[in-house]
Structure 1
Amino acid sequence: MTKNAKTVLILLTAMNLRLAVTAVTPLFGTIQRALHVTSATTALLVTLPLLCFAGGALLTPRLYQRFGAQPLLVTATGLLVLANLLRPTNVVWLLSGTLLIGLAIAGLNVLVPIMVAQTSSSPAATTQLTSAYAVTMNVVAACGTALVMPLAQRWGWAAVLRSFALPAAITLVAALWVRFPRPSRQSPTTSKHGNALSLLKRDRTARLLTVFMGLQSLIFYSLIAWLPDIFHALGATTTQAGNLLAVFQLVGIPAALVLNWVTNPRHLLWGLGGGYLVGLLSLFWPGAGWWIAAGVLGVTAALIFSLALNLIATSSAVVTTVARRSALAQSVGYLLAAAGPVILGNLYDVTQTWLPVLGVLGLLSGLTLMVGLRLSR
C-alpha cells in the first residue's frame, strides 16, 4: 500500500479524535431541556470520554499486538459510527453512546502514533506527519464547535449529534482497504516490558513521557474548564469570556505547524515555558491583556500537545515500544486531565479566589518545562 494512502488514512482518523467530545459542549443547555437531565449529567459527556481515554489506552497495545492496526481501526471507527447515531435516542443511549465513543477514541489515540511510526521513514517525516494530523484534529474540532449551534437551530440537536458519525464513516471505508504491517509476534520489548508497571519501572523514557503528557493534559483541560470563569471573575462579561475561550481554541489550529520550523525540542520548550508565563501574567491586564492571554495560552497548549505526540512517536525505532509508551503516557495523561478541573474547582470553592488556581497552574507549567527538558536530552 502506498505511503500517500496511509497518510490520507491517518489524517481521516485524526478527524475523529476530538469532534464527538469537544463539539458537544455548546449543546449542553439544549440537551438538558430536551431530555430533562441535569448539568451534572451533561458534564459526563466530557468526563466519561476522558476517563475512557485513560483506561482504554492501556488495553490498545495488547489488542494491537494480537490483531494489528487495521482490525482495530475498523472496529473503533465502526463503533464511533454506531455510537454517534444512537447517542441522541434517549438518556440511556446518551451516556452509553458517550462511553462507547470514549473507548473508541482511546484506541485511536494510541493507534495514530503507531501508524505514523509505520508510515514515516525518518524523524523529520514523523514530525511533519504528526503536525499534519494534529492540525487536522484541531481544525475539525474547532469547526464542529463553531457550527454546532447554527446547525442545531436549523436541523435540531439530535441530527447534529448524529452527523458526527459522518467523518467516522468515511474513515471506516478507507480503513477497509488501506493496510498497515502486522506487528511481529515476538518483539524485543515483549518480555522486557510486559505491562504498564514494568514499563514504568524499567523504562526511563516512558516515565518522562508519561509525566510530560499528563502535566500538559491537566493544564489544557483545566484551562478549557475554568478560563471563562477566571475571565469573568477578573471583570470580563459573560459574552467576552465565551469569545476569549473561542480564541483560546481557534489559535491552536496552526500551532502544530511550528514543529516543522523549530526542530530543536529544547529551544521549543523554553519558548513554551515563556508562553505559559506570559499567558498567565497577561490575565491580570484587563482588556487587551485578556486577548493576549487567550491567544498565547491557546498556542502554547496546542503546541506542547503536538510536541508530546511527536516525542512519543520518535521515542523509539521499535513500533511496539512506541505503542506501549504511547498507551502509558496517554492513559495517565487523560486520567490527570479528568481529575485536574475537579481538583482546581474544589480549590476555588475552598478559597473563593482564582489566584491559588493560577498559582498551581504556574507551578505545573514550570514542572512541565523541567520534565520536557530532561526528556529532550
Structure 2
Amino acid sequence: MQKNIKITLILITAMNLRLAVTAVTPLFSAIQRTLRVDSTLTALLVTLPLLCFAGGAIVAPRLINRFGIRPLIFFTNGVLLLANLLRPLTTGTLLMGTLLIGLAVALLNVLVPTMVAQVTTTGAAARLTSYYAVTMNVVAAIGTAGAIPLAHLWGWQAVLMGFALPAAATLIVAIRLPRHSFQQAVTTSATQLSLGETLRHDPHAWKLTLFMGLQSLIFYSLTTWLPTIFQTLGASAALAGTLLAVFQVVGIPAALVLNAITNLRRLLVLLVIGYLGGMAALLWSGIGWWLAAGLLGFTCSLIFSLALTLIATSSQHVGVIANRSAIAQSLGYLLAAIGPVVFGRIHDSLGSWHPVLLILLGLMLATIISGLWVAQLPEK
C-alpha cells in the first residue's frame, strides 16, 4: 500500500517539472500587453528557471542528504503552490514567482529520480522513469494547448494560478506518507572532491557539456519563442499554443526511436534531417506549421535522449558517470539559459525573427558536429 502511494507521489510530482515553465510561453503576448513589458522580460520567465536548474544539479544532493526527501517534497511543493498563486499579480511578483518556481523545480529534478531509485528495483526503475517522463510531457503539453482557450475564458492570470494545482495535489498525497518513508541519501566528501577533479581534468566531461548545452539551448529557445514566431507568421494565438503542444507531445515516443536505431551515425543523420526539415517547414503556412512543430519537437526530444544516453555510456565507472552528468546538466542548463533572453533581445533590436531563425539553424548544425565529437565516430 505504501509503495503504491510512493509511486502515485512520484507521478503527481512529475506534473510539476515542466508545466509552470514551458506552458507559460503561449501567454507571452497577453502578458506583454497587460504588464507593458518587452520580449526580454518575458524571456526571463524561461531563463530564470534554467539558471536554477543549472545550480540544482550540484546543490540538490547536499540538501537531500541534510534534510531528507519527505521534508523537501513538502517544502518544494509549498513553494510551488504559493509562487504560482502570487506570480500573476504584478511585474515584480511575476519575476519573483518565476524564480521561486525555478528553485523548487530544480530540487524536484533531482528529488524525483532519487525517489524512483528507492521505490523500485533496478529493472523496474527504467519503467517508472519512463512513466514519470511521459506524465511530465503530457501535462506540460495539455497546459500549453489549453493556456490560450482558458485565458480567453478566465484571463491569463487565472491560468498561471491554475498551474498550482499539481503542487496542491502532491501535498495532499505526501501527507499520507509516514515520516521515514524515504531513506536519507549519503553524500561523501570524496564524491564532491571527485566532481572538482572532473571539472579540471576530464575533457570528455566538457564535450558532453557542450553537446548537452547546445541541444538544451535550442529546445528552450524554441519552447520560449515558437508561439510568438507562429503568430508573427500569421497563426492565431490559440493555434500557436496548439502547435507548441504538438511540439511537446511528439517527443514522447522519441526514446523508442533511440532504441530502434543503434547506429549512431545514422541517428545523427536523422537528427540533421529533422532539424533542417523543421526549420524549412516554418516558411510554409498551414500544413507547414504542423510539420515544423512535429519535426522540431521530435528532433529536440530525440537528441535530448541521445545526450542522456551518451552521458550514461561515457564510462564503465558509476562515479565518473555521475560527475559527468552533474557537470553536463548544470553547465549545460547555464548555457541554455542564454538563448531565450538573447534571441528576444535580437528580435526587439531588429524587429524580425528571421535573424534568430538563421542563428538557431547554425546552432543546430553545431550541435550535430559536437555530437560527432562526443561520440568520436570512426570515418567508416
Q: TM-score, length-normalised on structure 2? A: 0.79
One-letter amino acid matched to 2:185: P
Q: Distance in 1 between matches of 2:212 and 2:176?
A: 32
Q: Give the conservation status (yes or no) of the 8 Å contact 2:250–2:294.
A: no
Q: Residue 147 of structure 1: CA displacement?
A: 1.1
Paired position in structure 1 for 2:295 = 296
Cα distance, 1:120–1:44 mapped onto 2, change above 3 Å: same
Residue 23 of structure 1, CA deviation = 1.5
- In the TM superposition, residue 47 of structure 1 has moved relative to its aligned partner by 1.8
Relative to the length of structure 1, the TM-score reads: 0.80
Q: Which residue of 2 aligns with 1:49?
A: 49
Deviation at 1:40, TM superposition (A): 3.0
Deviation at 1:252, TM superposition (A): 4.0
Structure-1 residue corresponding to 2:184: 182
Matched, 1:84 2:84: yes
Q: Which whole-Å CA distance do the structure 1 matches of 2:359 and 2:208 have between them?
A: 27
State yes or no: 1:221 paired with 2:220: yes
Q: How does 1:2-41 map to 2 (within 5 A)?
A: 2-41=2-41
**How far did 1:368 drift?**
2.7
> Gaps (5+ residues) in structure 1?
none
Query: What is the correspondence of 1:155-166 to structure 2 with a 5 Å cutoff?
Result: 155-166=154-165
Structure 2 match to 1:367 = 370
Query: How far 1:215 moved relative to its partner?
Result: 2.7
**Matched residues in 2 for 1:162 and 1:181: separation?**
33
1:330 CA drift (Å): 2.4
Question: In structure 2, do the counterparts of structure 1 residues 222 and 71 end up closer, same or farther at CA, with 3 Å as the change threshold?
Answer: same
Contact residue 135 and residue 253 of structure 1 kept, 8 A: no
- Measured after TM superposition, the shift of residue 209 of structure 1 is 4.9
Q: In the TM superposition, what is the alpha-carbon distance from 1:278 to its structure 2 partner?
A: 1.1
More displaced stretch, 247-256 vs 350-359: 350-359
Is 1:280 aligned to residue 282 of structure 2? no
Deviations 1:14-53 (A, max 9, x none): 1001111111222223333333434433232222112222
Shift of 1:297: 2.2
Q: 1:320 to 1:84 in 2, by over 3 A?
A: farther
Which residue of structure 1 lines up, in the alignment, with residue 249 of structure 2? 253
* Aligned residue type for 1:336: L
Given that 1:344 and 1:357 are in contact with CA atoms closer than 8 Å, whether structure 2 keeps it comes out as no
For residue 341 of structure 1, report the CA deviation from its aligned partner: 4.2
1:340 aligns with 2:342: no
| Correspondences of 1:232-271 after superposition (within 5 Å) | 237-239=233-235, 243=239, 246-247=242-243, 249-253=245-249, 255-259=251-255, 263=259, 266-267=262-263, 269-270=264-265
Equivalent pairs, count: 366
Quick one: structure 1 residues 323 and 181, their matched pair in 2 at CA, closer, same or farther if it must change by over 3 Å?
Answer: farther
In structure 2, the CA distance between the partners of 1:230 and 1:371, relative to structure 1 (3 Å rule), is: farther
The CA deviation at 1:310 is 6.3
Q: Offset of 1:88 from its aligned partner?
A: 2.0
CA distance in 1, matches of 2:62, 2:325: 12
Separation in 2, partners of 1:318, 1:8: 32
Mapped to 2, the partners of 1:315 and 1:70 lie a distance apart of 32
Cα contact 1:132–1:256 (8 A) shared by 2: no
Alpha carbons 2:56, 2:110 under 8 Å: kept: no
Counterpart of 2:104 in structure 1 is 104
User: What secondary structure, in the 3-state scheme, does the structure 1 residue paired with 2:190 have?
Assistant: coil
Offset at residue 217 of structure 1 (A)? 0.7
What is the alpha-carbon root mean square deviation over aligned residues? 3.7
Cα distance 1:212–1:372, how it changes in 2: closer, same or farther (>3 A)? farther
Cα distance, 1:340 vs. partner?
Answer: 3.0
Shift of 1:201: 3.6
Specify the alignment match of 1:137 in structure 2.
136
Aligned mates of 1:329, 1:48 — CA distance in 2: 18
State the alpha-carbon separation in 2 of the partners of residues 65 and 321 from structure 1.
20
* Structure 2 unpaired stretches of 5+: none
Matches within 5 A, 1:57-72: 57-72=57-72
